[in-house]
Structures are given as structure tokens and as C-alpha cells.
Amino acid sequence: MRGEDDRVSVSPGERSVRKRRARGSISADEILHGAYELASAESLDSLSMPRLAQRLDVGVTSIYWYFRSKEELLDVMTERALAEFDQAINVPVDLAWDEYLTTYFTAYRDVLRDNSLWCDLIVMRGSALSPEALRVAKQRVDVVVDILTKAGFATDDALRAHAVLSVYARGAILHYRQWDSPDSPVRIDAEFPDQIDPFSVTADEAFAFGLQNAIRGLRALLAQSAKR
Amino acid sequence: MRGEDDRVSVSPGERSVRKRRARGSISADEILHGAYELASAESLDSLSMPRLAQRLDVGVTSIYWYFRSKEELLDVMTERALAEFDQAINVPVDLAWDEYLTTYFTAYRDVLRDNSLWCDLIVMRGSALSPEALRVAKQRVDVVVDILTKAGFATDDALRAHAVLSVYARGAILHYRQWDSPDSPVRIDAEFPDQIDPFSVTADEAFAFGLQNAIRGLRALLAQSAKR
DNA sequence: ACCTGAACACCGTTCAAGT
DNA sequence: ACCTGAACACCGTTCAAGT
């Protein structure tokens, strides 16, 4: 329990004696940066307006000059997370379509599984995206769709394939959070030897199986439509 | 904004004059029932210990005699939700394996999509399951696995197929919550006519496509292993 | 225009009582 | 054994000031 000392506590001698800050001494960027750092170092759950203000050495209410609400602050944090996430996944575009999908969505899952802040902001939270963030998201989709259509898929099928695989990847992340994460609250200890343990499938195995299965399905779809 | 009046407000004349309740007048069941009703009528978010106590006409702290924490209360609520959810899905077992999977997982998604309390408790929240709840869950899986193995799948593949489809369904629900729900916070208004709109795929279409695609993949897998 | 403390209406939880 | 109010340590947000 050491290290839990960063509460709001003020040592008895020096009573909260922060000087009033100058007029231009805070900025939206600075607040965003501080919030992101705090959530990064601890967790999104532990990001609160008072804790953030304390960290920035600012009055709590000052934050509200730059962000109408915590919600709005989180929205902007999500934009940053999305941009960083976007950069974290880079897949060579010269792969065959099935290899591309495998690489892309495996990275998609791994990255979000291993960065809990990105996961909290992007996967768990539905936030209002700015036109700019929307543009980036659409561009990503376009790359995948492009590769699939060039491989012979109809545009609609390519779009749906992307939607399906990203939904699947996010589902896998959600599942991981709840069952397979090292700090998951869920513990399974009961044993019923006469029944098959449906949780014996580890997350990695299961994810890879599902991804390959979906790609097998797409391959069959491609073969079907090629025949006609 | 009418109907927002069920705050903790007490009319000025009659100051909170609740009589002290008798010794055996509360029970864990009663609390669970009240909590479930409150969350059902409003939302899980709006379930708080003070609001629940008020509804049950009980001192807030009395709840803590029966439940160590709100977390524990939510765990028990989840058990109830799981049991009800289990009953809400009944699929005839005499279907062909692919029809069975389609029916089962479509129902799985529809039911959780349309009951936000079940969704909050079962999908969004990772909770510690009792041995009993675990038994029920495993039994469900067993039925699916049984049908698949009888159709010729290896036990491991059957297990993985189940895991994959339930992960996919939960991913679809998560996606629905964030993008397609009528009361979703996310609004897309920006238009880029030169790009394909990756969100034009409605949730229902996309889900059905993914489900059928996965089944197509499984069919191909079955054909492969039958050859050997 | 920007920064602030006090105040408000909430939380979940503990603790020392009451009966 | 069971029920309780007061109290604690937090939240997010508003408002009427200060500079």
C-alpha cells in the first residue's frame, strides 16, 4: 500500500498556499496533456477533475473555462488516443488480402489489449468524434476495403468484412478485459470434471481461430462470387 | 423534464419522519428485488445506494448488513440477469448445426441488445460468478458443443466456435451501444462524398453477414477435416 | 478575459451507537 | 442480531466573485 500517498492531503505545516495564477498561464493543451498523463500513469477511472487540477497546480474550476465538462475533456482525450492508436498500427500494404487482414486485426487487438487507456477511451467509451477524427477513421477503412476489392470482393462485402472483423476484435478485447486479463476481477475456481471447461480456450488461441475462420468464410465467399 | 422529481427532496412540512424498522423487516432478497426493479425502471447507472435505500424505505447503511458493498450487490443482480437471460433464449435443439448457430446467436444478440439492464450487467460488467451461475453457463455451452460434435466437428473446434461466436455477438452489442443505439451519444453528421461511408452498413445487416460468414468458415473447416 | 474558492447535490462506505 | 444517523472522503458542476 506504499505509493498510495498521492491523496489530496496537505502536510499540516504548509496549508494549501498556492498563489493565484496569471491570466494566460493555463491552456487547453496543457490540461489535455496533464489529463492524458494522469490517466496514462494510473487509469482512466482515477482521473477526476480535482486530482487533475491538483496535478496541474490549478483551481479545479479553472478547467471548466477550457472544457465545458469532463465528458468534453474525455472526448478530446479520445481524439488523441485514436490518432496514436492509428500510428501504432502500421501494416505493409503489399500483403495478400488474407495475410493483410490477419496482420491488421491481430495488431488491432494486441495494441488495444495492451494499452488500457486507449482501450478505455476507444473501445469501452462511445464518444463523439470530430470531423477530423472521422476522416482518419474512414481513411483506415478505405485502405482495407481497397485491398479487398482489388482481390475481387464486391465493395459492399469488403465494407461488411471490415465491420465484422473490427467488431470481432473489439469483442475479443472486451472478453479479455473481463476474463483473461491478469488483473481481471473474475476468478474461476470451481471444477466440474464431468463437463468440458468452456473457458479452457485461451484468449489468443480463440482469437486466432475466429480470425482464420472468418477469413476462410471470406475465401469461400470469394470463390462463390467468382464462379458466377 | 417532467418526471425528474423523484430526487431525495422532502416536502418542507413533513421532515423525513421514517420510523425505525423492526428487526426482521428487511431481507437480502427484498434488497435485491428493489435494486433490480430500480435499475430496470431507470438504468443501472442511476442505481445508487441512497436511492435504493429510499425506495425500500430503509436506512442507507442497513443495506450494508446484507451486502458487503455495491459491487457484491451488483454481482448478485448479475446472477439473476444471467438466469433470466438464459431462459429468454430457447432454441429448438433439433435444428441442423448451422441453423442452430444462426438462431442461437441471433437471439443472443437481440435479447442483450434490447434489454439494457441485462446488457449492462452481463456484457459490460465483468463480475465474479457463483459456482451455480458457472454451472448454468457451462451447460449452455455444452448444448452448442454437443450439436457441433454430432455434426462432425472436433471437440476443440466446437468449443472454439462457440467462444468465437459469443465474442462476436458481444462485440456487436458493444458496437450497437456506441453507434447504432437510438440513444447513442455518437452522432455522425460530417459527409465526405468522395469516400465510402464505412458506417452505412447497418448493425443488423453487418451482424447477419458476419454470422453467416463465420458459419461458412466452419462449413469449410468441416469439409477439410472430413477429407482427411 | 481568465482564474478562483465556496457551495451544492450527489456518491460509496465506515463507525459508533441504538434497540 | 439487526437497523440507524452522523460523518468521512470523495465526485462533477455552478456561481458569484476576484484580478
Encode pLDDT of B33-80 as tens digits.
999 999 999 999 999 999 999 999 999 999 999 999 999 999 999 999
Classify the C-alpha dihedral B188-B194-B197-B198 as positive or negative: negative
**Residues B35 and B136 reside in one and the same domain:** no
Looking at residue B176, the DSSP 8-state letter turns out to be I
The pLDDT of B190-211, averaged and rounded, is 73
**Residues A20 and A100 reside in one and the same domain:** no
Closest CA–CA distance from residue A16 to any residue of chain B (Å): 32
* pTM listed for this prediction: 0.90
**Secondary structure of chain B: what % helix, strand, coil (to 5)?**
65, 0, 35
Residue A14: pLDDT above 80? no
Closest CA–CA distance from residue A224 to any residue of chain B (Å): 11
Radius of gyration of chain A measured on its C-alpha atoms: 23
**Residues B147 and B53 reside in one and the same domain:** no
Q: Give me B140's grid cell.
A: 449452455
pLDDT digits (tens, 9 = 90+) for B133-153: 999 999 999 999 999 999 999
**Residues B105 and B64 reside in one and the same domain:** no
**Residues A170 and A220 reside in one and the same domain:** yes
**Residues A59 and A90 reside in one and the same domain:** no
Cβ contact A196–B159 (<8 Å): yes
**Residues B197 and B152 reside in one and the same domain:** yes
**Residues B36 and B102 reside in one and the same domain:** no
Examine the fold and report which residue of A51, A68, A85 is the final residue of a domain before the chain moves on: A68
Mean pLDDT of chain A: 88
Cβ contact A220–B221 (<8 Å): no
**Backbone dihedral region of A125: left (phi > 0), alpha (psi from -120 to 50 degrees) or beta?**
beta
Interface of A with B in 108-127 (CB under 8 A): 123, 125-127
Which pLDDT score, from 0 to 100, does residue B198 have?
61
CATH number of the domain enclosing A86: 1.10.357.10
Does any CB of chain A come closer than 8 Å to the CB of residue B225?
no
Q: Kindly give the residue spans of alpha helices, DSSP state H, lying in chain A.
A: 28-41, 49-56, 63-66, 70-88, 97-114, 116-118, 131-150, 155-175, 203-227
Q: Give me B16's grid cell.
A: 423525513
Residue A3: pLDDT above 70? no
Q: What is the band of A104 on the pLDDT scale with cuts at 50, 70, 90?
A: very high
A and B: number of Cβ contacts within 8 A: 181
For A69, the 3-state DSSP assignment is: coil
The total number of structural domains in chain A stands at: 2
Closest CA–CA distance from residue B14 to any residue of chain A (Å): 36
**C-beta within 7 A of nucleic chain D, residues 18-37 of A:** 20, 23
For B193, the 3-state DSSP assignment is: coil
Q: Which of A141-145, A198-202, B18-22 has the lowest mean pLDDT?
A: A198-202
**Residues A56 and A141 reside in one and the same domain:** no
**Residues A32 and A98 reside in one and the same domain:** no
Task: Indicate the residue of B168, B201, B205 with minimum beta-carbon distance to A168.
Answer: B168
Question: Which residue range forms the structural domain that includes residue B21?
Answer: 4-68
pLDDT digits (tens, 9 = 90+) for A171-210: 999 999 998 777 765 555 555 445 556 666 778 999 999 9
**C1' (C15) to CA (B6) span, angstroms:** 30
Residue A126: pLDDT above 90? no
**Residues A220 and A182 reside in one and the same domain:** yes
The rounded distance, in Å, linking the Cα atoms of B176 and A99 is 28
Residue A15: pLDDT above 70? no
Examine the fold and report which residue of A41, A68, A95 is the final residue of a domain before the chain moves on: A68
Q: What is the band of B13 on the pLDDT scale with cuts at 50, 70, 90?
A: very low
Q: Which residue has the closest alpha carbon to C6 C1'?
A: A61
Cβ contact A188–B218 (<8 Å): no
Which pLDDT score, from 0 to 100, does residue A18 have?
80
Residue B8: pLDDT above 50? no
